[in-house]
Structure 1
Amino acid sequence: MASTPASWIELQASAFRHNVLALKKKAGSAKLMPIVKANAYGHGLSQVAVLAKKWPIWGLGVAHGSEALQLRKAGYRGRVLVLSAWDSKELLTLAKMGIEVVVNDFTTLNQVISFGRRAGSRLIRIHIKLDSGTSRLGFLPSDLRRVKKLLNDLPRTIIVESLWSHLSSSEDQASHVTEDQLVQFLTMTKALPPTRYRHIACTAALIRFPDTRLSLSRAGIGIYGIWPSPPTRQAAKGVTLKPVLRWYTTVRQVKNLPKGAYIGYSRTARLKRAGRIAILPIGYADGYDRRLSNRGQVWIAGHQYPVIGRVSMNLTMVDISGSRIAVGEPVELIGPHVTADRMATIIGTIPYEVLARLSPAIPRYTV
């Protein structure tokens, strides 16, 4: 790094590879599709695209067509599947770049059919999403007779690669919901023409429910080294995951303050005795959640220190009373000592949100 930015993210390439191989092994004969939506769960889509070229995977999954195009721009030439939404105006570009798309209702199915009839010899691969009980995107059981009729009359340039669905509760302690959804999904697939792949498993499912692995499994949060839930971790016999992301900043100012000094907006903190604070150049605009005000922890020079006062848009204060911390000292915001899981627990959310909300403007480096 030529100069020190306000904060930066480091990605551990060896941890990425470890996680991919661990989940690939757990998936058995099923192929593995890492999911890199939401800026690769906050890790950086372009950075992950570079690393993914060396992974033994089926391809990558994204949420939107724009993310798929960004992967191509970053130099990723493997298979890419758009899982949630694409615009009909970008369908030609997606097809030209070999990007595969979801079809989840009659609107998208008819758009693809119309494209196939006018696109000449341009091939496009589609994946039919079925709603097996999550009540989000996907065809319902009552739609299948009409879907089958349309699929049996597709233009030859349209290839149906898979039937797939999404589980609602594979991370939860109870197992009957996942088992029921799998039965529903398999029943629905029997009503449609066979495809090369069927997939329904996420990280939690491929670890906890072997029958969900089928021919292709999707792995999201797990490839970043984060457990989806405590029940998943408890069921992961022989599987270890290594967190990939570390987020750092530096101390920009140190202040000695007298007893009774108020800290930050709305005076939510007051020193009970004379002390020292460190001011960090990060805040909620960077993804450091405002709910960490007076609750968060950071790691500096081998010790943990509490956030004091309100987290503001671009600044956060830390109580470093009794220390010799100086300006320029590195600060771990997320890492081995301050985990995304712990941060999520403090603010009452899940690590997915903690990571996905990290600002794309933060520089990311692979180490």
Structure 2
Amino acid sequence: MSQITNSVHTAGAILSIDLDVIKSNYQRLCQELGDVPCAAVVKANGYGLGVGPVATALWQAGARTFFVAQIDEGIELRAVLPDADIHILVGFLHGSDDAFSQFNLIPVLNSLDQIDRWKGRGRCDVHVDTGMTRLGLAPDEVDQIPNGLDIDVLMTHLACADDKDHPLTHQQIRTFRQVRDVVAHKRASLANSSGVFIGPEAHFDLGRPGCALYGINPTPHQENPMQNPVRLQGKIVQVHEIDTQSSVGYGATHALKAGQKLATIAVGYADGYLRSLSSKGVVYIGEQEVPVVGRVSMDLISIDITGLDCEAGQLVDLIGPHNPPDCLADLCGTIGYEILTNLGSRYKRIYKGE
């Protein structure tokens, strides 16, 4: 029996990821940072776009330092980038000793307990909590860091970086500057994607952007300086000519009138097209915006194509040049991060520039 593959013919949707755009976004961030080196955050499977191709593209673009959240993510990334510096944000968990040594991973130590257990094992980062109240040492614990700890990066994380005028942003920068003075001669890193665009006062010694690499707007109150590398095209599987008053989808939440025309698309919430887009989402057929009608179901959505000439097998843009992830996020009250990291496994993935 021949092996069944997820091809453009058998898949319900095609997810195209332009690696050259991701490289260009990295270079744009490097330009913003000036002489400050730029790391790359590739956690959550490269923000849903595929850590292997994405990390390889970023390495080709010049990135040498990478951050992931989980140890298993670091192990997977090591197989892709044997020479990269790979930092693990969750830190040095109990029982993870062998993984760090075997795969040459660098833990981000988040507590005095983790620091005590790591001593003498090699390079590490130290995370100081300057206002996020999530992970990291309290600032008044910094003077308890033992001498001789081989710290590569001293870091913190901004809570409100996308609002550079937020009082907490300025407070965190001041607090981190004070902490850096205590832990002298170590690389300091504060700037996430939005932090890169705050300005030199937030750059310190290492930028570590994530979402901006993948086209999410790091300056949400201004025009997006990044490019969108993602195009998700769903396939029309059936067209319906409505000849009598009826409804569409579960719960009969959307009424139809005679003369309307619907298309059913082979994408649903099992593919990461969020259920909260029910009767809110829009897709594009060429330059034409088309509304989603009725509830998003597990495998299907319906769109109103009244007045348009469409047929089964035709592709429509669920994410694309006219409706990037941030636009979908606005429609359903979430953020572009969630749109990207929910992109499903049933799509046929095509990498451009690989």
**TM-score normalised per structure 1:** 0.89
Query: Does residue 169 of structure 2 align to residue 178 of structure 1?
Result: yes
- Matches of 1:185 and 1:29, distance apart in 2: 20
Deviation at 1:198, TM superposition (A): 0.6
Coordinate RMSD, CA, aligned: 1.9
Amino acid at match of 2:129: D
Which residue matches 1:199?
189
Give CA-to-partner distance per residue, 1:158-207, whole Å, 9 cap, x none.
x2112110111121152432222111011122223532x11011111111
- Matches of 2:60 and 2:49, distance apart in 1: 17
Which residue matches 2:65?
59
Deviation at 1:72, TM superposition (A): 1.8
Deviation at 1:259, TM superposition (A): 2.9
- Matches of 2:241 and 2:220, distance apart in 1: 42
CA contact (8 A) 1:300 1:329 kept: no
- Matches of 1:210 and 1:360, distance apart in 2: 40
Amino acid at match of 1:17: K
CA contact (8 A) 2:70 2:89 kept: yes
Which residue matches 2:338?
353
Amino acid at match of 2:113: T
Which residue matches 1:230?
220
Amino acid at match of 1:94: F
Which residue matches 1:152?
147
Amino acid at match of 1:139: L
Higher deviation after alignment, 281-290 or 48-57: 48-57
Give CA-to-partner distance per residue, 1:126-169, whole Å, 9 cap, x none.
0000011111100002322322xxx2155xxxx21121101111
Instruction: Give ranges in structure 2 of 5+ residues lacking alignment.
Output: 1-6
Pick one of 166, 170, 181 that aligns with 2:157: 166
Amino acid at match of 1:44: G
Deviation at 1:96, TM superposition (A): 2.5
- Matches of 2:174 and 2:287, distance apart in 1: 51
Pick one of 310, 315, 318 that aligns with 1:325: 310
Distance 1:74 1:7, change over 3 A: farther
Could you list the runs of 4 or more consecutive aligned residues of structure 1 that deviate by over 4 angstroms after TM superposition?
A: none
Deviation at 1:95, TM superposition (A): 2.3
Distance 1:364 1:50, change over 3 A: farther
- Matches of 2:9 and 2:81, distance apart in 1: 27
Distance 1:125 1:66, change over 3 A: same
- Matches of 1:214 and 1:345, distance apart in 2: 32
CA contact (8 A) 2:46 2:55 kept: no
CA contact (8 A) 1:260 1:274 kept: no
Deviation at 1:361, TM superposition (A): 4.7
The total of aligned residue pairs comes to 346
Deviation at 1:245, TM superposition (A): 1.2
Query: Does residue 43 of structure 2 align to residue 44 of structure 1?
Result: no
**TM-score normalised per structure 2:** 0.92
- Matches of 2:122 and 2:207, distance apart in 1: 22
1:276-355 equivalences in 2 (<5 Å): 276-355=261-340
- Matches of 2:307 and 2:273, distance apart in 1: 25
Distance 1:291 1:2, change over 3 A: closer
- Matches of 1:351 and 1:313, distance apart in 2: 21
Counterpart of 1:344 in 2: which secondary structure?
helix
- Matches of 1:153 and 1:208, distance apart in 2: 33
Deviation at 1:313, TM superposition (A): 0.8
Amino acid at match of 2:295: R
Give CA-to-partner distance per residue, 1:12-57, whole Å, 9 cap, x none.
1221111111110110111101111122112111221221220212
CA contact (8 A) 2:8 2:348 kept: no
Pick one of 190, 205, 216 that aligns with 1:215: 205
Counterpart of 2:66 in 1: which secondary structure?
strand
